[in-house]
Amino acid sequence: MQILIKKSWEYILYKDDQKYLLEVVCGGAAIFELKITLNSKEIDDYLSHGQSYIDQLAEKIRNSPSQYLNRKTE
């Protein structure tokens, strides 16, 4: 699995074959990681806008992790 972007204590974006996986560091005094597989629109947005798009997506996940729990992947 290739690491495409790594932002310290924020997130890591991986590429695994054709899949893009985003692992975000969530929480405060109790930290947990939430990893999701990017959908096709998110992949398109990433390929169009680059890291700034992933920064925003990671922030959304970090701010409201509960909204992304149904997309959690291992």
Partner 1 sequence: MIIEIIVGLLVSGGVLYIPIIIQKLEEAIFGIFRLGWGLVKGAARKIRTFSRFVVKSVKDLINGFQEFLKFLKGGKGSFKKIIDEVFDNFRKTILKQFTDIEFINGYDIDKVLKFVKGHRPNPSEYLSIRYIKAHLKKFEKGASYLVPKKVLDDYGRDIIGRLDGQFVMSKTEMDDLLKKAKGNLSYVEDELGIPPGGWKGKELIRIDILNVKKQNIRMPTGNEAGANDLWLPGGKLPKGYSESVMDAIKKGDYKEISINLK
Which residues form the interface with partner 1 (CB under 8 A)? 6, 8-10, 12, 25-34, 59, 62-67, 69
Nearest-angstrom CA–CA distance, 34 and 24:
5
DSSP state of 9: T
Closest to partner 1 by CB, 10 vs 45, is 10
Length of the chain: 74
Least distance from partner 1 to the Cβ atom of residue 28, Å? 3
Count CB-CB contacts under 10 A for residue 34: 21
Closest to partner 1 by CB, 33 vs 47, is 33
Closest to partner 1 by CB, 3 vs 47, is 3
